[in-house]
Amino acid sequence: MSKLKDRVEELETKVYFLDMHIKHLRIDLEEQQHGSPSPPQDRSILSLMAQAETELQVARETVEKLERFLGLLPGAGKRAG
């Protein structure tokens, strides 16, 4: 069980850093749009953002599933029945 909890913490950290990465990419894109960015740079940043957002969603879903499995979320099933 401790290995699973370690994995949850590892994934939560990954979620946090992916989220920060997406925010920085958005800031970079906004800064470029106020200047005179070349279209390939825009496409590259948008592609990186899409990839990071996909990874972030997968990581969030994985964390949620692991937390449910570990009984860390409300309603995860430790009810006397």
Q: Note the pLDDT of residue 41.
A: 66
Using CA atoms, how far apart are residues 32 and 5, in angstroms rounded to an integer?
41
Residue 45 · residue 29 · CB < 8 Å: yes
Return the CATH number at 54: 1.10.287
Does residue 76 form part of some domain? no
Does residue 48 form part of some domain? yes
Q: Does residue 80 sit in helix, strand or coil? A: coil
The domain total for the chain is 1
Does residue 75 form part of some domain? no
Predicted confidence (pLDDT) at residue 58 exceeds the cutoff of 50? yes
Q: 9-53 pLDDT, tens per residue?
A: 888 888 888 888 888 888 887 777 776 555 666 678 788 888 888
Does residue 35 form part of some domain? yes
Q: Provide the pLDDT confidence category of residue 79 given band limits of 50, 70 and 90.
A: very low
Q: Residue 19 sits in which domain range? A: 2-70
Instruction: Name the more confident of 74 and 57.
Output: 57
* Greatest distance between any 2 Cα atoms in the chain: 64
